[in-house]
Structure 1
Amino acid sequence: MENERIQTELPTRPLLFDFHGVSMTHHFTDNWEKVQSFQARPDDILIATYPKAGTTWISYILDLLYFGQSAPERQTSLPIFMRVPFLESDFRVLPPGTEVADKLPTSPRLIKTHLPVQLVPKSFWEQNCRVVYVARNAKDNVVSYFHFDRMNMVEPEPGDCNNFLQRFMDGKMVFGPWYDHVTSWWEKKQTHSKIHYMFYEDMIEDMGRELDGLCSFLGLSPSEEEKERVIRGSQFDNMKNNNMANYSSIPVMDFKISPFMRKGKVGDWKNHFTVAQNEQFDEEYQAKMKNTNLQFRTAV
């Protein structure tokens, strides 16, 4: 009966619509006025990603870096989505992201967004805030996004994997085309020194190296012991089994369908793409990425 009660309370799946030239759902536009007027502070750190590109991973790393020692109780008492609020979100089952961000007691405030660069609130640029952007190769990103949409009731109905892949190539995804997202943030980085652009594949390959680069960008000098603690705490299996990190407390996600943290691998796309799909994807990819020097790896 408990399961039946939960099922009846799950929201109906939202529909995609065009919003300032980007596909969105109402969960990210209902609070738009407050999102756009959000007042950033100079020491805020904005975590920006396309959905399913390592957002929670980098959020957890940053939270451990800044507060793992000074406020260890955060790790066991506050879920990551309350420590690192999702700025544009308005899911009803939680307070709006702007409200959570405004009430953060920490300095710096860690705030996450999936917004394409052109929709980020102006105050983040006016205050010259630091931004950490993580990008993931398109093939693994689309596979992760598909499984996420299957289990997440505040996402549009995913359909079958073939239709989902076509939608991804067409850019008809929440927060718009992957291609535009990763390239526009990459271009912004060329003129904005406060953006640190990271790659999911590099983090998988050598987290120690990537953590050193991140700390250098942030002006942090953790001890070797502290760095080891961050690396250990943010390992995939540790986060997957950590109820404060794995989103298991959010009622709109059905873990019976798929866990929020599924595999965390590079190259899992090979288990999902057919030969024909891969050929079509590569053709689309070459056409859409031909005008950028941004390079991705689909294996490590």
Structure 2
Amino acid sequence: MVVTIFVDRNPKDLLASLFAWHDSTRFLPRVEWDHFFDSHLKGHTEYGSYPEFTRAWYEYKDEPWFYWTRYEDLKKDPRSSIKKIAEFLNRDLTAKQLDEVVHVTSFEYMKKNNESIKGRDFILRPKGVWQRKGAVGGWKNLFTVAQNEIFEKNYNERMKRLGIEHMKYKF
């Protein structure tokens, strides 16, 4: 059976990460933050607006082939999160296997080994990075106070309108 593991992420961090990705890749245009922020609110960035994208995937939440998790949970407790994913996949992992999966899926490991990514130089601009920081809360270094207020108002209204208000992130 084909499965989908959906990793949800704080929409503010997701936006900050997507903005950095624009700056790193050759195939996406570089754009100023203020313009990018405004475009995202209008749903004119990759994947449209976060609430609509999330709502589309939420339709599958009860399907047996679909697993929903959050990036913040993976960062906070990778061992427990990976164990739950393994259980969803009906895989029994030994303690040693679980340790190995935790190790090779850590942000630090992937960032250290990003040089091995096939086609890296074709995709990335000079000095571009495949993985940037992998942190939770990085949006705070990018959003202005006004942008934060605008984002939250827009986000809350859309989540309510789409009927998925119960899924809102607590910022």
Tell me, yes or no, whether TM beats 0.5.
Answer: yes
Equivalence map 1:49-198=2 (5 Å)? 129-155=2-28, 157-190=29-62, 192-198=63-69
CA distance in 2, matches of 1:278, 1:249: 33
On the 8 A contact 1:239/1:245 being kept in 2, the answer is no
Q: Which of 201, 226, 229 matches 2:97?
A: 226
Change (3 A) 1:254 1:297: farther
Deviation sequence 1:222-257 (CA, Å, 0-9, x none):
10011001111121121111146656734131141x
Change (3 A) 1:234 1:297: farther
On the 8 A contact 1:158/1:164 being kept in 2, the answer is no
Change (3 A) 1:227 1:180: same
Query: Which residue matches 1:260?
Result: 130
On the 8 A contact 1:132/1:195 being kept in 2, the answer is yes
Change (3 A) 1:209 1:297: farther
Q: Secondary structure at the match of 2:122?
A: coil
Change (3 A) 1:279 1:183: same
Change (3 A) 1:276 1:214: same
On the 8 A contact 1:240/1:246 being kept in 2, the answer is no
CA distance in 2, matches of 1:222, 1:245: 27
Query: Which residue matches 2:108?
Result: 237
Segments ≥4 residues shifted beyond 4 Å: 244-248
Q: Secondary structure at the match of 1:289?
A: helix
TM-score (norm 1): 0.53
Q: Secondary structure at the match of 2:67?
A: strand
CA distance in 2, matches of 1:207, 1:246: 23
Q: CA RMSD in A?
A: 1.7
How many residue pairs align between the two structures?
Answer: 168
On the 8 A contact 2:114/2:131 being kept in 1, the answer is no
Deviation sequence 1:146-171 (CA, Å, 0-9, x none):
0101121212x242101101111111
Q: Secondary structure at the match of 1:197?
A: strand
Q: Which of 1 and 2 has greater Rg?
A: 1
On the 8 A contact 2:114/2:130 being kept in 1, the answer is no
CA distance in 2, matches of 1:288, 1:215: 33
CA distance in 1, matches of 2:50, 2:42: 10
CA distance in 2, matches of 1:295, 1:213: 22
CA distance in 1, matches of 2:169, 2:99: 27
On the 8 A contact 1:248/1:255 being kept in 2, the answer is no
Which consecutive residues of structure 1, in runs of 5 or more, have no partner in the other structure? 1-41, 43-128
Identity between Structure 1 and Structure 2 (%): 27
Q: Which has the larger displacement, 286-295 or 260-269?
A: 286-295
Query: Which residue matches 2:159?
Result: 289
Q: Which amino acid aligns with 1:139?
A: K
Query: Which residue matches 2:88?
Result: 217
Query: Which residue matches 1:19?
Result: none
Q: Which amino acid aligns with 2:54?
A: V
Q: Which amino acid aligns with 1:133?
A: F
Structure with the bigger percentage of helix: 2
CA distance in 2, matches of 1:186, 1:279: 25
